[in-house]
């Protein structure tokens, strides 16, 4: 090998090194951009304000007080999870926001639901219809039953846009195709002509999501959207929610009884029990410093990878009867820390941080003073 060749080889090596350096720099920039893209921008603009919501149902057996004073706010681009055992009033809450409580037997007996400052509970059915599916959309639990078996998914997709906007059939079709693309359905043009039974459960839920999003709503209420799905499909659907939120900035109320679902995509968590929100906070606050014994119990009953040895501890007992809800703390009968006061007086809401609040006597200032005295 002569000198010239050696020199050329060295130069070549140096050039490659430099290229590598440039490449890794570029990669860093890329990563930064992706991080930027995926970092959530939750604005301070309130999309939804629910205040002291009460919903009851008149039945032959008496009046069920399904929701008994629920309050929360939802910000633009945020995901709020509402968790709680089955029967605690999650679906009733979401139906009430959506204006879908059947009246009778149901009744919103008190409280406010404001969408971008506009009161919804006093609207007529006709006025509500201009909001339903356009500004607020809903996703249901079971994708196997949420789609009409006798209409093609194209018809079911386009129906919403064509009802609410003056668009031609071809424009609606364009929109439907775009939505199917967004929710990750391959061959959308062909799939549009097919019927629900020709899709798997996961695919159907994607279609349900596409239908809910086709009018570009600002608020999406998802009532247990993954409960009926396999675990792997669940994860895919949750990812889809994140992706869609990143792309469209839609605010999401995610209802679930599965804390695992919540851990992944929620920004804030509201824990519901017997028709009330008993604790609400940032995801971290709820997962790392839960204050309500019920929340703690729920977390203990979730399987965790890092605590394989420890046994799951389901919470003993059952929730109270909502025909005659207790006047004190509804968790008294099941609470390991229950005190006399709990039985008789409902705990007031204690604000722990700007985002964290809890309804429990243990956190009440007065109780703490007593404790310390």
Partner 1 sequence: MLKYTLKRFVMMIATILIIATLTFVLMHSIPGSPFNEERTTNEAIQENLERFYKLDQPLPVQYAYYLKSIVTFDFGPSIKKPNESVNELLARGFPISFELGMTTILVAVISGILLGTFAALRHNGVIDYAAMTFAVFGISIPNFVLATLLIQKLAVDWNILPPATWSSPLHMILPVAALATGPMAIIARLTRSSMLEVLTQDYIKMARAKGLSPFRIIARHALRNALMPVVTIMGTMLAGILTGTFVIEKIFAIPGMGKYFVESINNRDYPVIMGTTVFYSSFLVFMLFLVDIVYGFLDPRIKLHKKEGEA
Ligand X SMILES: Nc1ncnc2c1ncn2[C@@H]1O[C@H](COP(=O)(O)OP(=O)(O)O)[C@@H](O)[C@H]1O
CB under 5 to 8 A by kind: which of Mg ion, partner 1, ligand SF4, none does 211 bind? partner 1
CB of 343: closest distance to ligand SF4 in angstroms?
8
Nearer to Mg ion, 322 or 342 (CB): 322
CB of 364: closest distance to ligand SF4 in angstroms?
8
Beta strands 106-115; 46-59: pairing state: antiparallel
Q: Is 103 in the site for ligand X (CB under 6 A)?
A: no
137 neighbors 47 (Cβ within 8 angstroms): no
CB of 90: closest distance to Mg ion in angstroms?
5
Angstrom distances, CA of residue 329 to CA of 242, 244, 290, 292 = 36, 39, 17, 11
Sequence-ordered list of residues with C-beta below 8 angstroms from that of 26, at least 6 positions apart, any chain: none
Nearest to 51 by CA among 112, 120, 115: 112
Q: Is 273 in the site for ligand SF4 (CB under 6 A)?
A: no
CB of 134: closest distance to ligand SF4 in angstroms?
40
Q: Which of 47, 50, 83, 88 binds ligand X (CB under 6 A)?
A: 88
145 neighbors 224 (Cβ within 8 angstroms): no
Residue 62's DSSP bridge partners are: 59
263 neighbors 288 (Cβ within 8 angstroms): no
Q: Is 331 in the site for ligand SF4 (CB under 6 A)?
A: yes
CB of 331: closest distance to ligand SF4 in angstroms?
4
CB under 5 to 8 A by kind: which of ligand X, partner 1, Mg ion, none does 130 bind? partner 1
Sequence-ordered list of residues with C-beta below 8 angstroms from that of 197, at least 6 positions apart, any chain: 149
Which residues of the chain form contacts with ligand X (CB under 6 A)?
57, 59, 64, 66, 84, 86-92, 102, 105-106, 322
What are the residues binding ligand SF4 (CB under 6 A)?
A: 292-293, 329, 331-332, 335, 337-339, 342, 347, 360-362
């Amino acid at each position: 090998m002569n000198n010239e060749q050696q020199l050329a080889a060295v130069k070549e090596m140096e050039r490659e090194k430099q290229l590598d350096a440039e490449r890794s720099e570029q990669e860093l920039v890329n990563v930064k951009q992706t991080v930027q893209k995926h970092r959530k921008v939750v604005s301070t603009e309130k999309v939804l304000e629910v205040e002291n919501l009460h919903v009851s149902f008149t039945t032959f057996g008496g009046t069920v007080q399904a929701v008994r004073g629920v309050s929360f706010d939802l910000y633009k681009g945020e995901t709020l999870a509402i968790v709680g055992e089955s029967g605690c009033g999650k679906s009733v809450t979401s139906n009430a926001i959506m204006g879908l409580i059947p009246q009778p037997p149901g009744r919103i007996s008190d409280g406010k639901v404001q969408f971008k400052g506009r009161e919804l509970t006093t609207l007529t059915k006709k006025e509500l219809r201009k909001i339903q599916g356009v500004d607020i959309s809903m996703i249901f639990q079971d994708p196997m039953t949420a789609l009409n078996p006798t209409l093609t998914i194209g018809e079911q997709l386009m129906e919403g846009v064509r009802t609410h906007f003056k668009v031609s059939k071809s424009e609606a079709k364009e929109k439907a195709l775009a939505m199917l693309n967004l929710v990750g359905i391959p061959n959308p043009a062909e799939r549009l002509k097919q019927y629900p039974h020709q899709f798997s459960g996961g695919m159907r839920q994607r279609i349900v999501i596409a239908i809910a999003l086709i009018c570009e709503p600002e608020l999406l209420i998802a009532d247990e959207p993954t409960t009926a799905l396999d675990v792997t499909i669940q994860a895919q659907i949750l990812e889809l929610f994140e992706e869609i939120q990143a792309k469209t900035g839609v605010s999401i109320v995610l209802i679930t009884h599965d804390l695992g679902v919540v851990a992944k995509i929620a920004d804030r968590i509201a824990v519901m029990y017997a028709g009330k929100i008993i604790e609400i906070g940032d995801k971290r606050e709820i997962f790392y410093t839960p204050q309500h014994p019920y929340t703690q119990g729920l977390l203990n009953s979730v399987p965790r990878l890092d605590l394989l040895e420890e046994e799951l501890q389901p919470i003993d007992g059952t929730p109270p009867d909502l025909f005659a809800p207790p006047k004190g703390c509804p968790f008294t009968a099941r609470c390991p820390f229950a005190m006399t006061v709990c039985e008789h007086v409902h705990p007031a809401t204690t604000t722990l941080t700007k985002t964290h609040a809890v309804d429990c006597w243990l956190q009440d200032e007065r109780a703490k003073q007593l404790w310390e005295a």
